Amino acid sequence: MLCLKNKSNPEWIECVKKNVDSVIIDHAHCEKKAALTGMNLINGHPEKTEIILAMADLVEEEIDHFRSVVNILIERNVRLTEDPGDEYAKKLFSQLRKKQPERFLDHLLVAGIIEARSCERLQILSENLEDEKLKNFYTTLSKSEAGHYVTFVKLAKIYFNEEIVKIRLDELSNYEAEIVKNLTNLPLMHG
């Protein structure tokens, strides 16, 4: 169902196991930025009713995820620190074409691809971490992010021809796989 062309490097989870708190902090920031992506789409496309309604739901869910992650940090006695930034997402967003409506299509698809990779990474966390509470939490979140991937692709197909969506999703997914292959396995959600 997901568009991913490769799996994450196995070294990533090994690094994460030694730095669980760092990943949780970065994860909180990822949820915050996912909500911002939804708000940006509402802001940029106020006339597109399907977009603003779907994004209003998404923003609500992502903020809910953010709150849950912050509560996990509080339980672990860890404070949320500065956003470490997300080079992976920056590289993907650099692929947005300049002209509309192509830029709008790319925005939806890049957002969808990030959801798909986040889903994969959350699944890896749920399968490999020891803490039962974290495992269950990541299983639930992974399903939610898979749903968000589907939402973005469905929205793209409302505004663009199905074949055009398929071709562009394929191009962007290939690019994303290259980024993931070259990641240096840092204790970050997309590290």
> Closest CB to Fe ion among 38 and 191?
38
**Residue 86 Cβ vs Fe ion, minimum distance, rounded to whole Å:** 14
Each residue 62-81 as x (binds Fe ion by CB under 5 A) or -, in order, gives: x--x----------------
Q: Does residue number 86 form part of the binding site for Fe ion (CB under 5 A)?
A: no
Q: Does residue number 27 form part of the binding site for Fe ion (CB under 5 A)?
A: no
Q: Contact with Fe ion (CB under 5 A): which of 145, 165, 188, 189?
A: 145
Q: Does residue number 33 form part of the binding site for Fe ion (CB under 5 A)?
A: no
Q: Beta-carbon neighbour count of residue 67 at 10 Å?
A: 12
How many angstroms separate the Cα of 176 from the Cα of each of 1, 20, 154, 169?
16, 25, 20, 10
Alpha helices (H) in the chain, listed in sequence order: 10-18, 20-44, 49-75, 87-93, 102-128, 132-159, 162-181
CA 165 to chain centre: 19
Q: Does residue number 148 form part of the binding site for Fe ion (CB under 5 A)?
A: yes
Q: Which stretch binds Fe ion (CB under 5 A): 26-34, 71-79, 103-111, 126-134?
A: 26-34
Q: Beta-carbon neighbour count of residue 163 at 10 Å?
A: 8
Q: Which stretch binds Fe ion (CB under 5 A): 15-23, 30-38, 86-94, 158-166?
A: 30-38
Angle in degrees, CA 118, 122, 125, rounded to 5: 145
Interface residues for Fe ion in 102-121 (CB under 5 A)?
A: 115
> Closest CB to Fe ion among 4 and 102?
4
**Residue 99 Cβ vs Fe ion, minimum distance, rounded to whole Å:** 27
Number of residues that bind Fe ion (CB under 5 A): 7
Give the span between the Cα atoms of 50 and 67, in whole angstroms: 26
Give the span between the Cα atoms of 169 and 163, in whole angstroms: 10
- Can you give the binding site for Fe ion, defined by CB under 5 A? 31, 34, 62, 65, 115, 145, 148
